[in-house]
Amino acid sequence: MSLHIHDSASRTSREFTPLTPGIASIYVCGATVQGVPHIGHVRSGLNFDVVRRWLAHGGLDVRLVRNVTDIDDKILAKAAQAGRPWWEWAATHERAFEAAYDALGCLPPSVAPRATGHITQMVELMQRLIDGGHAYASGGDVYFSVASYPAYGEVSSVVIEDVQQGESAAQGKADPRDFTLWKSAKPGEPSWPTPWGPGRPGWHLECSAMARTYLGAEFDIHGGGIDLVFPHHENEQAQSRAAGDGFARYWMHNAWVTMSGEKMSKSLGNVVAIPEMLNRVRPQELRYYLVVPHYRSMIEYSEAALDESVRAYQRIESFVRKVVQRTGVVAPGALAPEFAAALDDDLSTPAALAAVHNTVRHGNSALDNGDDETARTAAGSVRAMLGVLGLDPLAWADTTTDTGPRQALTALVEGLLEERTRARADRDFALSDAIRDRLLAAGVAVEDTPGGPQWTLKDG
């Protein structure tokens, strides 16, 4: 492995060398569990799942921490609006996120710590900062002094004189640029005791405390969405390094999923929830759609783009299954050199999948020419490459079953396609066309491929 990563902080491509030989340590900012996950939420989990799989393929023991923010202003507000306890609201949506990650084939993290389970570590970090002159208590709140840390701006390149934290004004701040580490208790809100009074953690504090708890004072990669660069990740690094920790050695940030040019978010109402999506496409097809673009590239969601991704994945799947049907079970083989080179180049999944599709084309040509051995070799390579991306169609076939409306739809459509295949074999083209038109009228498009008919939904 000769992996080079685009380090967001230095804005350069850097060769990845783990801090501890043989071990890769990764901290990924996970969900703030305020609602049902949509495809914009899970993109980060998928992107860093690919990072993890590639590092593991290279022989490293990967230790991945993906936190859960289970106490937050939005969680408290939405729980109150729904008339539910805040802890129940958070736990309910934490389960929804875990179900989404599982459904899309993300390997479970080494640990998924909750913010509320690490108050002791947060108090200890605040004490270290206060003792070092980098934080101060005021009226039950605790703030980080931005001016006390001259290197502020290392991650985001923000100019310290222009810093605006996006926090509400607070009378206790010595400097408006300072950010909140601890919020004093308010009536009706949950709180925990500290030497400075009861309250709850600020957003930035929790990740520094949890990263140190599980990965140590210094670790390899810190990841998350680009919307976290400032202020969240900037503040994480400032408070950790001010306290004497080395913190993250590399920073990786994935881009957004957008609709109509805007970041997908609940507040805009332009969300595509995971449960809804999985009634329309299979989990592996949705994973393919979100993994194909480079992790640093925006995805502009559209039905047409999703449909094209579904068809592209089905072409790969069809080839592998056809080889298995003709020649027997195919074990994963060797990676194509261009595939490995693509992933070593800052996890370039578009180029990696281009190598997969090239291999599929060569394999289909071999099948057409009766060269089953070459086709088997190609199929083995395809399985190996897709395995690294969490997309091996045979692995999904072994572990994934459709449920609910999708299961019923699949059974009905595939029954009709079998009838259509028999009609074509009997040269009853009128019946074959009638079945195709019937499916199309119902919103199901059929494409005849070398590996057999493939279908996709044209309407939601």
Picking from 219, 252, 268, the residue at the C-terminal end of a domain is 268
CA dihedral 346, 332, 110, 238 (to 10 degrees): 0
Question: How many beta carbons lie within 10 A of that of residue 169, not counting itself?
Answer: 6
Question: Tell me, what's the pLDDT at 344?
Answer: 98
Inter-helix orientation angle 86-103/39-57, to 10°: 50
Flag whether 382 is in a domain.
yes
Question: Tell me, what's the pLDDT at 2?
Answer: 93
Domain co-membership, 340 together with 429: no
Domain co-membership, 65 together with 125: yes
Cis preceding linkage at 231, omega within 30: yes
**Can you point out the beta strands (E) in 2-98?**
4-7, 12-15, 23-28, 61-66
pLDDT digits (tens, 9 = 90+) for 121-154: 999 999 999 999 999 999 999 999 999 999 999 9
Domain co-membership, 210 together with 307: no
Domain co-membership, 23 together with 119: yes
Domain co-membership, 393 together with 440: no
In this prediction, residue 398 has a pLDDT band, given cuts at 50, 70 and 90, of low
Please give the tally of structural domains in the chain. 3
In this prediction, residue 413 has a pLDDT band, given cuts at 50, 70 and 90, of confident
Domain co-membership, 377 together with 428: no
Q: Work out the average pLDDT over 144-167.
A: 94
Task: Kindly report the CATH number assigned to the domain that includes residue 366.
Answer: 1.20.120.640
Domain co-membership, 92 together with 18: yes
Q: Which residues contact 322 (CB under 8 A, 6 or more apart)?
A: 367, 450, 451, 452
Q: Work out the average pLDDT over 158-166.
A: 91
Flag whether 366 is in a domain.
yes
Domain co-membership, 221 together with 361: no
274 close to 105: Cβ distance less than 8 angstroms: no
Flag whether 107 is in a domain.
yes
Picking from 353, 381, 400, the residue at the C-terminal end of a domain is 400
Q: How far apart are the first and last CA of the chain?
A: 42
Q: Work out the average pLDDT over 2-25.
A: 98
pLDDT of 286 > 50? The answer is: yes
Flag whether 48 is in a domain.
yes
Question: Tell me, what's the pLDDT at 272?
Answer: 85
pLDDT digits (tens, 9 = 90+) for 55-91: 999 999 999 999 999 999 999 999 999 999 999 999 9
Q: What is the span of the domain harbouring residue 122?
A: 4-131+205-268
Task: Kindly report the CATH number assigned to the domain that includes residue 37.
Answer: 3.40.50.620
In this prediction, residue 183 has a pLDDT band, given cuts at 50, 70 and 90, of very high
Flag whether 343 is in a domain.
yes
Instruction: Give percent of the chain with pLDDT exceeding 90.
Output: 79
Domain co-membership, 73 together with 211: yes
Question: Tell me, what's the pLDDT at 411?
Answer: 67
Domain co-membership, 91 together with 210: yes
Domain co-membership, 377 together with 418: no
**Can you point out the beta strands (E) in 85-236?**
135-138, 141-144, 179-184, 199-201, 218-225
pLDDT of 389 > 70? The answer is: yes
Q: Work out the average pLDDT over 339-359.
A: 98
Picking from 400, 417, 440, the residue at the C-terminal end of a domain is 400
Flag whether 451 is in a domain.
yes
Maximum Cα interatomic distance, the chain, rounded to a whole number of Å: 85
Residue bearing the bigger pLDDT, 151 or 440: 151
Measured distance CA(9)–CA(12) in Å, rounded: 8
pLDDT of 387 > 80? The answer is: yes
The predicted model scores a pTM of 0.85
Measured distance CA(317)–CA(456) in Å, rounded: 14
Question: Tell me, what's the pLDDT at 397?
Answer: 66
Question: Tell me, what's the pLDDT at 401?
Answer: 44
pLDDT digits (tens, 9 = 90+) for 26-35: 999 999 999 9
Mean pLDDT over all residues of the chain? Answer: 92
Flag whether 245 is in a domain.
yes
Q: Residue 169 is inside which H or E element, if any?
A: none
How far is CA 428 from its chain centroid?
Answer: 47
Flag whether 163 is in a domain.
no
Q: Work out the average pLDDT over 259-275.
A: 73
Domain co-membership, 389 together with 421: no
